Amino acid sequence: MQKFVIHGGKRLEGDITVQGAKNSALPILSAAMLCEGENILENCPELSDVYAACQILTSAGCQCRMQNHTVSIKADTVRNSEIPESLMQEMRSSIIFLGAMLGRTGTCILGYPGGCELGPRPIDLHLQAFQKMGVKIQEESGILTCTTPNGLHGAKIHLQFPSVGATENIMLAAVLARGETVITNAAREPEIVDLAQYLRTCGANLRGEGSSTIVIQGVKKLTGCTYRIMPDRIVTATWLAAAASAGGTIRLLQADTVSLEGILDVFEQMNCSCSHTENTICFSAGKPLRAVRFLKTMPYPGFPTDAQAIVMAVLCKANGTSVIEETIFENRFRHVDALVRMGADIQVTGHAAVIHGVKQLHGAPVSATDLRGGAALLVAGLGAQGETVLTELSHIDRGYDSPELLLRSLGADIRRI
Ligand code: UD1
């Protein structure tokens, strides 16, 4: 079992380059299955979730190679419509391969993803949308067999909630379907815009991404292209939080500042200084850090649920009382117990956490319970007095590409053992 040993309190100084976005890479890897010819995806983060996505592509019959953050995919040899159960279990986002597999082969057999560490993860919105597009779904012993007896066709789909995964899955199925698909109350996340731009580069006909209505006209074929995955906004937020927690001044290069406006505003409320050009953020930790009166997680452009735990780790040491309400996932305060073990003063009532800032956190043995919760403990450990031993790193490795190397280059005292 691997662990991070962190000696907190070392100021962070220097420049780092932001990795590519996991949540953009995964749907784009899935979309590559729809194309003729070769796809070259640059700036792909090297993460266990990305490796799992590559394994799904390989098991479907694609040729997939990853080297130096570039993945090349040839999908001309796709022959298998079944997503292996082990990969469905390894990565909940495997569901994102359903739309592409249907678009490519007209069939998909996959396990029901079930719950995960964030609580129940239903896929009802995905399945209802596919049924409207002509997909027949049979479920037996947790295995879904999805077929398209009359081919996939476009449909008008209103999402009851702007689900990121459902919006992406519908887009993936619709680009090669017959006729027009209109998604209303679509998710507006920047990763959806990235997926749409990639699909358009491959020859898809779609518009409206980034707004609540996406219109897709099916085309006959897509052709592979070279595409650069957008920078990861949640990883960017994590490194800002690390510097806020430990103190110091850092520069983040190749960041996507447009998608970060809401997050940067929260750091400014905490008394940190964030100035930016188009793709570089200059950040100085607040002295002292100030509480944020009320933060509520919301679909984009609201404050992202994925940044909630990370920002909470900083607010633990901010002057005053902060309140965070989590509205997207039911079980997303699992990092709180570990933060309290490190000296934080946090009370959770239902979907809200009340954080009374303390002067200092202290190191402790703690375990990551999920990806962003684990990143929050990393952030807390970097700013805590003494030694933090952080275990269950597999959660963190799903989303962060060599975090200890980056942090060490900024002066942090962190080792992976
Ligand atoms: C994506 C992100 C994840 C982020 C989340 C919300 C990826 C790979 N993951 O996850 O990091 O935290 O968006 O920004 O991009 N829901 C249903 N029925 C459905 C689908 C979703 O009830 O069919 C609910 C979920 O249980 C959850 C909410 O909708 O409460 C948001 O889920 P969704 O936007 O779909 O998140 P993901 O796409 O799974």
Q: 311 pLDDT exceeds 70?
A: yes
**Does residue 69 share a domain with residue 44?**
yes
Q: 12 pLDDT exceeds 60?
A: yes
- pLDDT at position 122 is 87
Q: Which residue, judged by its Cα, is nearest atom 31 of ligand 1?
A: 163
Q: How far is the centre of ligand 1, averaged over its atoms, from the C-alpha of 386 (Å)?
A: 37
Tens digit of pLDDT for each residue in 139-173? Answer: 998 899 999 999 999 999 999 999 999 999 999 99
- Place 114 in a pLDDT band, splitting at 50, 70 and 90: low
What's CA 349's distance to the chain center, in Å?
A: 26
- pLDDT at position 47 is 95
**Does residue 270 share a domain with residue 380?**
yes
C-beta 130 within 6 A of ligand 1: no
Question: Looking at 116, 274, 282, 316, which residue is catalytic?
Answer: 116
**Does residue 200 share a domain with residue 342?**
no
- Place 1 in a pLDDT band, splitting at 50, 70 and 90: confident
- pLDDT at position 116 is 64
Report which of 6, 10, 23, 8 is spatially closest to residue 236, judged by C-alpha positions: 23
The rounded percent of the chain whose pLDDT value lies above 90 is 92
- pLDDT at position 115 is 52
Q: What is the CATH number of the domain that holds 393?
A: 3.65.10.10
Q: Locate the DSSP E strands across 55-203.
A: 63-67, 70-74, 107-111, 136-140, 143-147, 156-158, 180-184
- Place 282 in a pLDDT band, splitting at 50, 70 and 90: very high
**Does residue 238 share a domain with residue 293?**
yes
**Does residue 289 share a domain with residue 209?**
no
- Place 398 in a pLDDT band, splitting at 50, 70 and 90: very high
**Does residue 222 share a domain with residue 118?**
yes
Domain containing residue 244: 3-19+231-416
Of 228, 246, 268, at which residue does a domain stop?
228
**Does residue 404 share a domain with residue 259?**
yes
Q: Using CA atoms, how far apart are residues 312 and 111, in angstroms rounded to an integer?
A: 34
Structural domains counted in the chain: 2
**Does residue 206 share a domain with residue 303?**
no
- pLDDT at position 240 is 98
The rounded percent of the chain whose pLDDT value lies above 70 is 99
pTM above 0.95, yes or no: yes
Q: How far is the centre of ligand 1, averaged over its atoms, from the C-alpha of 163 (Å)?
A: 5
C-beta 24 within 6 A of ligand 1: no
Give the ligand 1 atom nearest the CA of 330.
30
Of 228, 253, 276, at which residue does a domain stop?
228
Q: Which residue, judged by its Cα, is nearest atom 35 of ligand 1?
A: 163
- Place 89 in a pLDDT band, splitting at 50, 70 and 90: confident
Lookup: tokens for 353 = 């956490």
Q: 46 pLDDT exceeds 90?
A: yes
> Which residue among 164, 171, 172, 332 is best mutated to probe the pocket of ligand 1, counting the most ligand atoms within 8 A of its Cβ?
164
Q: How many CB atoms lie within 10 A of CB 368?
A: 27
C-beta 195 within 6 A of ligand 1: no
**Does residue 263 share a domain with residue 171?**
no
Report which of 236, 284, 229 is spatially closest to residue 259, judged by C-alpha positions: 236
Tens digit of pLDDT for each residue in 22-31? Answer: 999 999 999 9
**Does residue 196 share a domain with residue 53?**
yes
Of 204, 228, 252, at which residue does a domain stop?
228
Q: Which residue, judged by its Cα, is nearest atom 7 of ligand 1?
A: 23
Q: What is the DSSP letter of 323?
A: E
C-beta 126 within 6 A of ligand 1: yes
- pLDDT at position 10 is 97
Give the ligand 1 atom nearest the CA of 125.
23
10 Å CB burial of residue 67 (0-12, 13-18, 19+) is exposed
**Does residue 288 share a domain with residue 186?**
no
Lookup: tokens for 292 = 């944020």
Tens digit of pLDDT for each residue in 222-268? Answer: 999 999 999 999 999 999 999 999 999 999 999 999 999 899 999 99
C-beta 165 within 6 A of ligand 1: yes
**Does residue 81 share a domain with residue 192?**
yes
Lookup: tokens for 197 = 């731009």
Q: Using CA atoms, how far apart are residues 224 and 40, in angstroms rounded to an integer?
A: 8
Is 116 noted as a catalytic residue in this protein?
A: yes
C-beta 301 within 6 A of ligand 1: no
- The mean pLDDT of 326-355, rounded to a whole number, is 95
Tens digit of pLDDT for each residue in 116-146? Answer: 677 667 899 999 999 999 999 999 988 999 9
C-beta 122 within 6 A of ligand 1: yes
